[in-house]
């Protein structure tokens, strides 16, 4: 009994699917044509089909391909405004100017090369009760070095002035003044 019922349901579903397929793919007949003020729609369709083309049509105009064109940036066209197309004036003949010779520049006197930066880091300040400040400097390779205003550090550098966050140093001979900021390392 269950088998018969199942077969009946499958048969009904198949018939419904076939009816839907036939209805979807069945060629529809055109609806009754209505006459409008412009005329009969069937007559217009026939008239459009009867339009003759005047001889063979050249799909590519070869002479237009060889014509000179403007570069895209040469036209003052704004695509966001409606305005008539601006025709560019014909290109002017190029007149070459005589080459400009640059006057020789006077030689800049070459002085001594600049001094290399002082390779020390300022890592802190020690202040005594008497008000004397000591700068703590390091080169990253050896033990920290200490010095007051006017002291020579590492035999090559002199401390000019010790501030709160920086120290002003020169080479021992007084050249190459630099300010080294507190790095905290």
More confident residue, 92 or 149: 149
E strand segments, the chain: 35-36, 39-40, 121-127, 133-138, 145-147, 152-153, 157-162, 166-171, 178-181
Q: Span 108-136, mean pLDDT? A: 88
Helix/strand/coil for 145: strand
Please report the pLDDT score of residue 15 as a whole number. 93
Strands of 152-153's sheet in order across:
152-153, 157-162, 166-171, 178-181
Quote the mean pLDDT of the chain: 79
Please report the pLDDT score of residue 92 as a whole number. 78
Q: What are the structural domain ranges in the chain? A: 121-181
Please report the pLDDT score of residue 13 as a whole number. 94
């Amino acid at each position: 009994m269950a088998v018969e019922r199942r077969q009946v349901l499958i048969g009904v579903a198949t018939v419904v699917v076939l009816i839907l397929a036939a209805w979807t793919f069945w060629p529809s007949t055109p609806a009754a044509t209505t006459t409008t003020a412009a005329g009969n729609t069937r007559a217009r369709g026939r008239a459009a089909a009867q339009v003759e083309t005047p001889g063979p049509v050249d799909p590519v105009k070869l002479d237009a391909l060889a014509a000179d064109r403007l570069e895209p940036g040469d036209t003052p066209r704004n695509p966001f405004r409606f305005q008539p197309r601006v025709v560019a004036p014909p290109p002017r003949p190029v007149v070459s100017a005589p080459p400009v010779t640059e006057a020789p520049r006077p030689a800049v006197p070459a002085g001594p090369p600049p001094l290399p930066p002082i390779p020390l880091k300022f890592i802190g300040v020690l202040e005594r009760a008497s008000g004397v400040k000591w700068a703590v400097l390091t080169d990253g390779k050896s033990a920290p070095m200490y010095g007051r205003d006017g002291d020579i550090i590492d035999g090559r550098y002199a401390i000019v002035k010790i501030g709160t966050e920086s120290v002003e140093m020169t080479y021992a001979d007084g050249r190459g003044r630099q300010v080294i900021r507190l790095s905290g390392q």
